[in-house]
Amino acid sequence: MQNNFELKTENMSHSIMLVSQDEKALFDFSFVLAKKLLCKTQNACGTCSVCKKIEHKNHADVLVFPKEKDVISVDDILGIVEDALVFPFEADKKVYILNNFSFTSGLVQNKLLKTLEEPPKHVYFVLNVTNETKVLPTIKSRCQKIYLPKFEDEQIFESLNAFQLSDEQKQDIVSYCEGMKSKAESFANDSNFEDTLNLTFDVWKNLRTSPQVLDYASKFYTNKKLFEEFLFLYGIMLKEVLHAKLKETNLLKDKKRKELFEQIANDFSFKALSEIEKECIVVAEKLERNCNQFLVVDNFLLKILEVRAKWQ
């Protein structure tokens, strides 16, 4: 990741927004950025005392929020705004890394706005954002945006060597993690990943009648995490089915299941797949808003059944 960017620190904004769906990539690169800003050579050398301190997360002038909770609070922001006025302890600059910034409220973001508009010369803010639409336009307009690329399949596969997995299991994870290390590690730590993968294929292949909706839905009613993982995998498989339907099998990520995707593609029209894609987006938004999970699950499965029958 570090080598993919040639950043010139002398032209860098004091307010930087890193954008990626991969939380791990955001977290890791924000520290690369801190090294770039504070390193004695300004090249994130990794060998100087500054880089080593940042690597070990104990540099006094690299401050990470939230510290205890999952989301940055108003009190956190008020403390940051006040602390930003204090000169650095060790370096000539201070870096504030604000994780999960997409999940902060509009009130919290507004409390930071004036400081982003006129930051102290010695301060840099790095906002880690997984969903850019959740960030206020006034915040976005004051930040230099950096969009992180996804990891290559080979990089993901290599990172999975840290887990006790077969090559086949690693390849399945690579095929369905969307180039995100955080998602790959989540799958690797989930002993039920293969079961969820098979369940998702089962819904694609076999959901054909109303009574089956209840059978499948009952697996998700009390397990939001399982349904979120199922929905993510279902969306990835949708792309694979579209490739198969367009005869673009060379673009399949999961090539070992090529025949299965071709079979599924024959059961769905382009219109049906388009409607399912729209519904996946709607359902993800409903889950984020904590809508009634029973209704969300039922409606999604019924929608699949409906479009499959309506647009054959």
Q: Are 206 and 244 in contact (CB under 8 A)?
A: no
Cβ neighbours of residue 92 under 8 Å, at least 6 residues apart?
A: 122
Kindly report, residue by residue over 128-186, the tens digit of the pLDDT. Answer: 999 999 999 999 999 999 999 999 999 999 999 999 999 999 999 999 999 999 999 99
Give kind and range of the element (H or E) at residue 200: helix 193-206
**pLDDT (0 to 100) of residue 9:** 61
pLDDT at 44: 86
* CATH match of 190-310 with 1.10.490: no
SS3 255: helix
pLDDT at 4 over 60: no
Give which of 86, 97, 123, 84 is closest to 32, Cα–Cα.
97
The Cα–Cα gap between 44 and 38 comes to 8
pTM, two decimal places: 0.85
Residue 129, strand partner residues: 19
What the block records as the tokens of 97 is 């890394």
Q: What is the pLDDT of residue 8?
A: 60
Position 170: which residue type? K
Q: How far does Cα 279 stand from its chain's mean position? A: 20
Average pLDDT of the residues in 225-231: 96
Kindly state the average pLDDT of the residues 240-248.
Answer: 97
CA distances from residue 15 to 71, 118, 119, 143, 193 in whole angstroms, order as listed: 19, 10, 8, 5, 38
pLDDT at 288: 87
What are the angstrom distances between the C-alpha of 51 and each of 36, 40, 56? 9, 8, 9
- Radius of gyration of the chain from its Cα atoms, rounded to whole angstroms: 22
- Please give the pLDDT value at position 293: 92
Q: 128 and 30 in contact (C-beta within 8 Å)?
A: yes
Q: Where does the pLDDT of residue 106 fall: very low under 50, low under 70, confident under 90, or very high at 90 and above?
A: very high
> 38-82: per-residue pLDDT in tens?
998 878 888 999 999 999 999 999 999 998 788 999 999 999 999
Biggest alpha carbon distance in the chain? 67
Domain spans of the chain, in order of start: 2-147, 190-310
Q: What is the DSSP letter of 58?
A: -
2-147 CATH fold: Rossmann fold (3.40.50)
Mean pLDDT of 82-98: 95
Does residue 25 carry a pLDDT above 90?
yes
pLDDT digits over 276-311, tens only? 999 999 999 999 888 999 999 999 999 999 999 998
CA–centroid distance for 200 within its chain: 20
Determine what percent of the chain is predicted with pLDDT higher than 90. 90
The pLDDT, as a whole number, for residue 220 is 95
**Residue 35 CB: number of other CB atoms within 10 A?**
25
Mean pLDDT of the chain: 93
